[in-house]
Amino acid sequence: MANETAVAVGKPHIVRRLYNWVLHWAETPYGVWALFLLAFAESSFFPIPPDVLLIALALSIPAKSFWYASVCTLGSVLGGLAGYAIGFGFWAATKNLFIPYVFSQATFDYVVELYKHHDFWIVFIAAFTPIPYKVITISAGVCSINLVMFIIASVVGRAGRFFLVAGMIRLFGPPIRRFIERYFDLVTIVFTVLLIGGFVVLRYWNAISSFFKGH
């Protein structure tokens, strides 16, 4: 990401310009293809999340919201597989292209360490929440985590995120846009925490029950 201090006065930040460029595709006949390619690219290197274009397209034709979510999910999962392939087979040749320009060495090392214990949940959480999915897909390939598990976690997480956006727009229309843009990432984080908390409770239910019975 470009350093803000390096941007000339009076010119929009490079990320804002990319954001506007992404949005303009919603006003063209190529919006669906742009959504697919954006979702694909964001899974390995592009900085703007596909939700931006997904929201714009879904608002333009709410009846097609779930179709747009399907396209976005397919592009993102395939892009995730491309990221996995980069990490699995081409990391030595491409490492300097990603670090530190796409993500930092510290972030990469931290994710690699997490994969030793929580591979499925790491992929799912990154796919569903605002955590950068690209560092997860590439590091998954570097760590050679189970490919089938990676695909399942990616499909569940990405589809959950994009269909939730599409469903909110389909149900509530344009008024929900401000809420999604402002609070959606927080909603996904809270949902994920509750989901994981539920699995933890189920896993240790006997111990928890015994504890309360003893008191």
pLDDT in tens, the chain (215 residues): 344 334 344 445 777 788 888 889 999 999 999 999 999 999 988 888 999 999 999 999 999 999 999 999 999 999 999 999 999 999 989 888 888 877 888 888 888 888 878 889 899 999 999 888 998 999 999 999 999 999 999 999 999 999 999 999 999 989 888 888 888 888 888 877 776 665 555 454 454 445 345 55
The pLDDT assigned to 47 comes to 84
Beta-carbon contacts of 13 under 8 Å, excluding residues fewer than 6 positions away, are 2, 4, 7
Tally DSSP H helices, then E strands, for the chain. Answer: 11, 0
Residue 195 pLDDT: 65
Confidence (pLDDT) at 12: 52
pTM of the entire predicted model: 0.81
